[in-house]
Amino acid sequence: MVEINKQFDELEQQVFSDEPMPGNREGLLSQRELFKAFAWYGVAGVVPIMVSRLTVDLSFRDTDRWRMRPKQHQTGISLTRLVFALEAYHRDNAQKYPEALDDLLGRFISEIPLDPFSGESFRYILEERGFLLYSVGPNGIDEEGRGYSDKPRGDGIRRRVPLR
């Protein structure tokens, strides 16, 4: 039992990190599926089969969402900081927004934060009356700032000025 608990703890650490499972060929099983399978195997001998499956399904169905929350929170904070810096630039430069985020460095912000989902700079698009600033979001695909309410739907996290 000690060995099983040790393996379970190691597997849990891998599931709640962004690292891929060692030895898991891409597309074979997701980390969540592997974790559920192991949890199912671990409780199957103790709890009746139907209750075990239900417990595991209810307990671990939102694992992927839990792992994304810290990144989503950090993204929101970083985007808000950038919006304030962009507005300060706008106020001090004859009501014009910068051509690029790098123009904010020094006077308006000490460093440009990176998008937690891509590890690259946030996307910044200068528009006629304002700007669109966005993260690629949890899926890591640049969907041009589309969010959940857009058609076609995207999962980007964005800030737009002025609001539409």
Q: What is the pLDDT of residue 47?
A: 47
Sequence-separated (6 or more) residues with CB below 8 Å from residue 7: 38
Q: What is the pLDDT of residue 145?
A: 84
So what's the pLDDT on residue 124?
Answer: 96
pLDDT at 146 over 80: yes
Greater confidence (83 vs 64) lies with: 83
Question: 3-state DSSP call for residue 160?
Answer: strand
* pLDDT computed for residue 109 by the predictor: 92
Half-sphere exposure of 90 (CA within 13 A, CB side): 14
Of residues 134 and 49, the one with the higher pLDDT is 134
Render pLDDT for 5-47 as a digit per residue (tens, 0 to 9). Answer: 666 566 666 555 544 555 555 545 555 555 555 555 555 544 4
CB neighbour class for 109 (10 Å; exposed up to 12, middle 13-18, buried from 19): middle
For the stretch 74-129, pLDDT in tens is 999 999 999 999 999 999 999 999 999 999 999 999 999 999 999 999 999 999 99
- Of 1-5, 77-81, 142-146, highest mean pLDDT: 77-81
Eight-state DSSP code of residue 102: G
Sequence-ordered alpha helix ranges (H) in 45-147: 49-60, 63-92
Per the DSSP assignment, residues forming a β-bridge with 131 are: 126, 161
Among 46, 9, 50, 14, CA closest to 33: 14
Region 44-52: mean pLDDT is: 49
| pTM (predicted TM-score) | 0.60
Q: pLDDT value at position 112?
A: 94
Asked whether the predicted pLDDT for residue 148 surpasses 60, the reply is: yes
140 against 43, higher pLDDT: 140
